[in-house]
């Protein structure tokens, strides 16, 4: 029994490590690709989608999950929002410092709460709403004092937050509506999103010549791009595995650790400048995120206790 427990714990630690390394690596690899190779953004997103679908196809052949038949028309908007979510967050990374990119993503929580309150009539406690103040204040403080601040980067970061928030709300709703898990949904989403991108890439990015998908790319550039696709798939797979084998709470708490590591890595690897006011903004946002998680966990536990006490 002790041996089985040790083996289970070892698997959980291995899953957390895979998620930690892949989540941090994908940010740094993508930034490296933009800075050193200038690879087109939408094409990189398309590579990620195709590799993710191939990875999921291999997973279902290995019986890691069973695909469920879905009507394409029921996930069209979800697939479109998936395109926007990945493309805009990549554009935000391309046009902002890693610190600003990472902090902008923290705004997803307030926007999700706003969407759920406005359109889904969901209610949140005053404590939860108050945690949004330091999150928002910290992001504004960091952006205001970021010496690499630019309008285009801010536009992409804002669009990324809005579309990501919509996507996350819709994913939860669709999983419940269609009675599928995240891998079953992504198995259909990824190829559909790839088809949408294939149709619009020629309108925004060159196909041949310098900067085009069929341009004269060096072997290291192509290998790095393909590697980033594999890492993107590992991120998706490890998220699913962690939540399935631990809990959403463990994943969220682990997310705060990744948040800090990614920020530090950005300043060390890409020499992003960091002022005292930016550091205060980062601490402010982190305090808000930790408070939000704490109050959310307390409320979940109270909800479970009330259910358990019912006759």
78 has a pLDDT exceeding 70: yes
Sorting pLDDT into bands at 50, 70 and 90, what band is 47? very high
pTM of the model as a whole:
0.75
Whole-number percent of the chain with pLDDT over 70: 86
Across 28-34, average pLDDT: 90
- The Cα 134–Cα 140 span in angstroms is 10
Sorting pLDDT into bands at 50, 70 and 90, what band is 295? confident
- Whose tokens are 């790839």? That residue is 194
50 has a pLDDT exceeding 90: yes
- By three-state DSSP, how is residue 25 classified? helix
Mean pLDDT score of the chain:
81
CB atoms within 10 A of CB 287: 15
Rg (CA), the chain: 20
Backbone angles phi, psi at 98, to 5 degrees: -60, -35
- Whose tokens are 């999700």? That residue is 112
Across 87-102, average pLDDT: 84
pLDDT in tens, 128-165: 888 888 888 888 887 777 766 778 888 999 999 899 88
Angle of CA points 266, 270, 273, to nearest 5°: 80
Q: Are 36 and 149 in contact (CB under 8 A)?
A: no
């Amino acid at each position: 029994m002790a041996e089985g427990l040790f083996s289970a714990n070892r698997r959980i630690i291995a899953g957390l490590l895979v998620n930690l390394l892949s989540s941090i690596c994908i940010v740094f690899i993508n930034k490296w690709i933009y800075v050193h190779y200038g690879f087109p953004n939408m094409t990189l997103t398309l590579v990620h989608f195709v590799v993710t679908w191939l990875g999921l196809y291999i997973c279902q052949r290995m019986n890691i999950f069973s695909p469920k038949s879905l009507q394409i028309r029921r996930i069209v908007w979800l697939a479109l929002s998936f395109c926007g979510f990945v493309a805009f967050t990549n554009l935000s990374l391309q046009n902002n410092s890693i610190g600003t990119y990472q902090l902008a993503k923290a705004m997803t929580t307030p926007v999700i709460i706003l969407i759920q309150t406005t359109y889904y009539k969901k209610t949140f406690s005053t404590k939860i709403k108050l945690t949004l103040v330091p999150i928002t204040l910290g992001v504004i403080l960091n952006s205001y004092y970021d010496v690499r601040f630019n309008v285009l980067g801010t536009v992409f970061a804002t669009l990324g937050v809005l579309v990501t928030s919509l996507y996350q709300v819709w994913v939860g709703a669709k999983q419940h509506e269609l009675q599928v898990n995240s891998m079953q949904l992504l198995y259909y989403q990824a190829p559909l999103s790839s088809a949408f991108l294939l149709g619009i890439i020629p309108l925004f990015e060159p196909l041949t010549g310098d900067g085009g998908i069929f341009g004269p790319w060096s072997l290291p550039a192509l290998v790095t791009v393909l590697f980033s696709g594999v890492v993107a798939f590992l991120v998706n797979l490890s998220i699913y595995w962690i939540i399935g084998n631990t809990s959403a709470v463990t994943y969220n708490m682990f997310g705060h650790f990744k948040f800090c590591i990614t920020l530090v890595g950005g300043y060390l690897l890409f020499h992003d400048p960091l002022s005292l006011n930016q550091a205060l903004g980062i601490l402010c946002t982190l305090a808000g995120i930790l408070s939000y998680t704490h109050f959310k966990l307390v409320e979940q536990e109270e909800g479970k206790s009330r259910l358990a006490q019912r006759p």
